[in-house]
Chains A and B, each alone.
Chain A
Amino acid sequence: MKHLKSLNNKAHLLDAAEGTDEREEVVAMQTIVGCTATADPGWEIDAFGGLASLCQPMESDLYGCADACWWPAQVPDTMNSYPEWGSGVDKVDQDWRRIDGIVEDDR
């Protein structure tokens, strides 16, 4: 990195931010560029290391996680980036097969 030279204003800002006294407060960016409202785990295993306290079935939690940007859920964020993801599928436990995955190249 020491051989790189900053050429524009933004690069100079990054150089200045490396010093701890220049670093700004880190704040959550959940409102715009996709989101995570929480870093709380709980989709693969529950808080007790088992499965009994997970949401059951997974489909009952699908929109509850997508709509609230629940990071561990690995579902598209409908709050900002993919608000149309569940369109036409109002009951996901019955019609989850009709929901498409997201392929970034399609955007």
Chain B
Amino acid sequence: MTTIIPPPQRAIHPPTATLIAVAALVSLAGAATMASAHSVDASGAEIDGPHTGGKEYLLTVTRPNDLQVIDMASNELVRSCEIPGPFGSGIMSPAPDGRVVYILSNLWQDIIGIDIQSCEVTFHAAQSSPGETVKSFQSVAVSADGTEVYTVQNPTQLKLDHFEVLEPRLAVFNVADGLDAKAVRTFPVDRRITKIVATDTGDVILGGGDLKAIDPNTGDTRLVMALQNWDRGPRWSTPDAFAMHTQGGPAHEYIMPYSTAEFVDDNQDMASANWWWGIARVDLATGEAERMEIAPLSEVIMNFATDPTDDNTLYGVFNGVHKIDIANQTITERYDLPHTYYTVNVSRDGKTVYAGGTSSDISVHRADTLEKIKSIQLPGDMSTTDMRVAYIPDPGP
């Protein structure tokens, strides 16, 4: 039985920019519980009430290949867990209960599940086999009920005198299969899919040229949001999407950022065009998707995360931390960083913003002013890895 907790009542500020709302994905069979009497965050976990004794952790991977667990109450590193195999890529997806995180490792070939409290390896899917090398490019996701792990496999057969590139496929693993997990189902998917996520409605969002959804039980796919094939007419360029980090966060969302040019006339002159940052954003609780320009493209911003308490506020990082008002399409705050950071995330209460990736420190900032609070030093560089938030409602002693 799947328990689906309705999303919280958040402040909704419809943007004035181009907004397209897509109908919610069809829900799979399951029982829906009534909304809690307590306040909940975007994922349905309680912010106050009897479960506020929960623990919130920031997770990332550092070279040589270790999972770093940071207590977000103190912003202190509390635990380092060795990950089997060499580094690559450190993309991860926490389980819904926050206790286990699934990480891409062994040169982008294996998915490893690690208990973040004990460092025990609880799951291992080694995807390559003799004669066939399989790589997953940033695609790791966990089902809403925590029982299945998903990835998009890119297989290549190594034949005697040539290599044969095979069709990519969504692979479904059972978490219960543990340390020698094999795919229980595979379905053909498009090429060029990187970041994926599972929705509460039972589908898997596929981040490729366009955003699509696949039913992991039947393999049926459908278009969620066009990007590469978005026809806006001659006044707009084809969006260029950046599909490197899955991230997500307490806002319970999937964001595919893009850049695009708005031409002043039909001549499509790049030099005179207005350039925009935009996002395609999926609410994982409902499966509803939206797509809009959010701020002028005045500098590079690599990744975005929504404030879990206000979906009109977006944070982004690269050479600075940025705070964006979506409705007004403006960058309202900016903080210069000492070096480049790739990844961004936000605490569940929306009060703290984190910048990570690239090097060996995480920069911690107040969300209201972006003032720097702290630098969390790690034992190695984060490189391509994610920076995710795991919440355990009942962590125990």
* A interface residue numbers (CB < 8 A to B): 10, 27-33, 37, 46-47, 52-53, 55-57, 59-61, 63-64, 67-68, 78-80, 83, 86-87, 90-93
Contact = CB atoms under 8 A, between A and B. Distances in A.
A67 B64 CA distance: 12
Interface of B: 62-64, 86-89, 107-108, 133, 135, 137, 154-156, 158, 161, 163, 165, 191, 244, 299-300, 318-319, 339-340, 342, 357-360, 379-381, 383-384
Contacts of A78: 87-88, 107
Contacts of A80: 107
Contacts of B318: 53
B384 A67 contact: yes
A60 B339 contact: yes
B135 A10 contact: no
Contacts of B381: 63, 90-93
A50 B360 CA distance: 27
A53 B359 contact: no
A64 B360 contact: no
Q: Which of A33, A55, A60, A67 has the most CB of B within 10 A?
A: A60
A63 B383 contact: yes
Given A28-B165, A67-B384, 7 more contacts: A28-B191, A31-B165, A53-B300, A53-B319, A67-B383, A68-B244, A93-B339
B340 A60 contact: yes
Contacts of A55: 319, 340, 358
Given A46-B300, A90-B380, A64 B165 contact: no
A80 B318 CA distance: 27
B382 to A, nearest CB: 9
Contact of B360 (A29, A79, A90): A90
Contacts of B342: 64
A104 B222 CA distance: 46
Nearest to A33: B163
A68 B89 CA distance: 8
Contacts of A27: 165, 191
Contacts of A63: 63, 358, 381, 383-384
Contact of B359 (A30, A32, A60): A60
A8 to B, nearest CB: 10
A72 to B, nearest CB: 15
Q: Which of B158, B244, B299, B359 has the most CB of A within 10 A?
A: B359
Nearest to B358: A60
Contact of A64 (B161, B300, B383): B383
Contacts of B359: 59-60, 91-93
Q: Which of B154, B360, B379 has the most CB of A within 10 A?
A: B360
